[in-house]
Chains A and B, each alone.
Chain A
Amino acid sequence: MNKNVNTNKAVPKNKKKKKASGPRFNVFDFLIIFAILICAGAIIVRAIFIGTAKKDMTTATVVFEVSYISDVTANALDKEEPQPIYLQSDDTRIGTIIKAEQTPQKILEKDENGILQSVIHPEKYTVKTTANIEGVWSDDGFLINGTQLATVGKTFDIYTPYVSCTFTVVSISPKQ
């Protein structure tokens, strides 16, 4: 009997089994997923915010002013019938002009003694309009259409069915 016969089955030298191949994640993959989730979350939050704001819509009385305009522009603003106002940026209607008042434009010029004198410009006008504007009152102030904060001094590029111009906010108050 041959004592040196090895009856055991051959065992491979490399006993480690190869791992099954599958998805491999690295840091950049996680960063991409994170960025996509952030974008999706921001869109959802914005949609919820706009939806909530629309429920709280109310009307405010806003006085706007537009200065140093020609008589043609001033006459186009100063109409008897109420005029709808739209934002130039996205064509959304924000309210209605209910009153307009046209006055000659005053400017300051120095006289012979260097003193500023107020004089009327013969070709320019200022128009003050009162409008009912839709929006939401928030802690920061009145948000036009629930999205744009209207503060005294802020300008808005608007248009009506007759004219396109830039309004400056003079005052804001709840509609009486």
Chain B
Amino acid sequence: MVQKRKKVRFNLVDMLIVIFILAIIAAATYFLIGYFKPDANSGNNDFKFKIRIENVNKESWDSLKELGLLNTGTIVKDAVTGEEIGTIYAAEAKESLHYGGLIPDENGYILGTAVSEDEYTVYITISADAEQDNSRKIYKVNHIRMLIGETVHFKIKSFTATAYIVETNISDEPKSP
């Protein structure tokens, strides 16, 4: 007995849904291509910038140093995206200063200052491949704009922190020991 083939029914609603989904895919593709397209022209594969990380626990910092995780050449990644940003060029730590309270002086009051016993303010210079957006004349490293005040989600082995750029396009300076 011959069984009848079931006819595939394709109606107007199905067509509209397919067109709508294709339009969404096309728009997403267009925006993604724009996002990943390298910015206009020139790059700098020895671009150096300095970041600041505040209130780093002294013990944690000292142990990172002992483990050699702050040596020149250590890979730095973006803690959010996991992408490689660059490598450590130099790292230094200064004791954190805290401000608060009033101290009388001849003109009235000044703000009290105290050196923190257990925290550092850390400055890390990172060497990276940077691309320059010629129209805006700014450098970017993995879509991070190399501008003072820009946030960097810093990550090395065993340590992550939110940092801010304090200096860009640095010329050669003494490396960390």
- Chain A residues within CB distance 8 Å of chain B: 23-25, 29, 32-33, 36, 39, 69-70, 72-73, 76, 84, 86, 91, 107, 109-112, 117, 119-123, 159-165
Contact = CB atoms under 8 A, between A and B. Distances in A.
Contacts of A39: 20
Nearest to A166: B149
A72 to B, nearest CB: 5
Given A72-B148, A72-B166, A111-B109, A25 B101 contact: no
13 contacts: A23-B9, A32-B13, A76-B149, A91-B136, A107-B111, A110-B102, A111-B102, A111-B109, A120-B111, A122-B99, A160-B147, A163-B149, A164-B149
A165 B137 contact: no
Contacts of A73: 148-149
Contacts of B97: 123
Nearest to B168: A162
Contacts of B81: none
Contacts of B95: none
A91 B35 CA distance: 12
Contact of A161 (B11, B99, B137, B167): B137
Closest 7 CB pairs of A and B: A164-B147, A23-B11, A29-B13, A164-B150, A164-B149, A76-B148, A163-B148
Nearest to A111: B102
Contacts of A33: 13, 16
Nearest to A116: B102
Query: Which secondary structure characterizes the binding site on chain B?
Result: strand
B102 A161 contact: no
B49 to A, nearest CB: 12
A166 to B, nearest CB: 9
Interface residues of B, number: 28
Contacts of A84: 136
A157 to B, nearest CB: 10
A117 B113 contact: no
B145 interface: yes
A158 to B, nearest CB: 10
Contact of B136 (A29, A32, A86, A112): A86
Contact of B148 (A24, A112, A162): A162
B110 A119 contact: yes
A165 B165 CA distance: 11
Nearest to B147: A164
B17 A70 contact: no
A117 B102 contact: yes
B102 A72 contact: no
A137 B109 CA distance: 46
Given A33-B16, A72-B166, A109-B100, A161 B136 contact: yes
B55 to A, nearest CB: 15
B108 interface: yes
A86 B145 CA distance: 12
B147 A163 contact: yes
B138 interface: yes
Contacts of B17: 32, 36
Nearest to A120: B111
